[in-house]
Amino acid sequence: MIDTHSSVDSLRQTLREHPIDLFKGKLDSAFYEKLLRVEKIQ
């Protein structure tokens, strides 16, 4: 149960950060690496 909630909390945080990162306009290698990490987890 803790693992499930931890994953949900992590996903919520990512979903909050993603639009902000997109509109910052800084689409560098760090942005794409983070995007790929999230994709692998989902």
Condensed to tens digits (0 to 9), the pLDDT of residues 3-36 reads 555 677 877 887 888 888 888 888 899 889 988 8
pTM comes to 0.52
- AA identity, residue 3: D
Write down the residue that tokens 């902000």 correspond to.
20
| C-alpha torsion 38→16→18→15, nearest 10 | 40
Tokens of 30: 């760090």
d(CA 20, CA 6): 22
Is it the case that residue 1 has pLDDT exceeding 50? no
What is the C-alpha to C-alpha distance for residues 38 and 42, in angstroms, rounded to an integer? 6
For the chain, how many residues are written?
Answer: 42
